[in-house]
Structure 1
Amino acid sequence: MGAVGTIEIGNDAAPVDMLAALFEAHGWPFEYTGEDEISGEIKGSWTTYQLRGVWRRDDHVLQLLCLPEVRVPKEKRDSVVELLALVNEQLWLGHFDIWSNGGMVLYRHGLMLGDDGLLSLAQAKTAVEAAVEECDRFYPAFQFALWGDKAPAEALANALVDAAGEA
């Protein structure tokens, strides 16, 4: 059986270590930012995303944050909050939010792991891919709203039309 980093494929591992192995296997730059936290960069279709994994041992929850480097100025906040509500209606997993400190748009998803607190490679891969795919899918909507001065519903409609055209 092969290995991802130092983790044998088929074996579950501590969540942050499994994310590190996944990042390493893909050649994505990353660093441990704490005992239970990792931060890395993943190139998406539109931009490079910062992906953070934060392990909450007490709750057995791995929180994934994907930041598409979209900052929302105060004068656009109401419009983007309305857009976020429309975008979040489209999601089955995770949600988009605006970080109150700095006005940064982010995608957030929490994975509830079992009592053993272990993450499989398949879980890690699926969660990371989903975060990047959702950021790629809705990044244009944020750009249309922020820089194209589109109304929230129009920004979303334009983004989804563009995404369908790329398929």
Structure 2
Amino acid sequence: MNQDEDAAPVEMLASLCEARGWQYEFVGDDELTTEIQGSWATYQLRAVWRSEDHVLQLICLPDIRVPDDKKAQMYEVLALVNEQLWLGHFDVWSNGMVLLYRHAMMLGDDGLLSVAQAQSAIETAVEECDRFYPAFQFILWGDKSPADALASALVDAAGEA
């Protein structure tokens, strides 16, 4: 695919996966899934295209499940984390209590995605998962308060250059 061409969103993401050497799989005509190695974990990335709305939704799953005894702290840290984000948000799916990052992109009436848009959306999802992964782990495994978990995660991230 030519770098200057726009394409249907799922096809553009498949081309990007191929260019990066990432294995991917189509889940129907309008959905793609792949795995991307981040700094802290391997993330499952799902892209779902809703042609009727011209919306591409990216979901990045860092493979974190929230146990019942950590729900309150996790919801609190999610609120603090989401205040830090310009694009997308973190959430916990009630079905399975799985943590995820989600971002929806409204595309134009032509429903096309550029290479730059595709790269930026995927990089943002992975970067945000990497940036806040330690905060979630501090809640789940370090018994830190939500405010301390976020502060510790941001200090650690600032220290990595």
The normalised TM-score by structure 2 is 0.99
Q: Is 2:75 the counterpart of 1:72?
A: no
- What aligned pairs does 1:115-130 form with structure 2 within 5 A after superposition? 115-130=109-124
Query: Which runs of 5 or more residues in structure 2 are unaligned?
Result: none
- Report the CA distance between 1:106 and its aligned residue: 0.3
Q: After TM superposition, which residue ranges in structure 1, 4 or more long, deviate above 6 angstroms? A: none
- Report the CA distance between 1:74 and its aligned residue: 1.0
| SS of alignment partner, residue 34 of structure 1 | coil
1:132 maps to: 126
**Correspondent of 2:29 among 11, 30, 35:** 35
How far apart are the structure 2 equivalents of 1:166 and 1:9? 32
How far apart are the structure 2 equivalents of 1:34 and 1:97? 25
The normalised TM-score by structure 1 is 0.95
- Report the CA distance between 1:29 and its aligned residue: 1.2
Amino acid at match of 1:51: L
- Say how many residue pairs are matched: 161
Query: Which runs of 5 or more residues in structure 1 are unaligned?
Result: 1-6
| SS of alignment partner, residue 125 of structure 1 | helix
Considering only aligned residues, what root-mean-square deviation do their CA atoms show, in Å?
Answer: 0.5
Q: Is 2:96 the counterpart of 1:95?
A: no
How far apart are the structure 2 equivalents of 1:119 and 1:25? 16
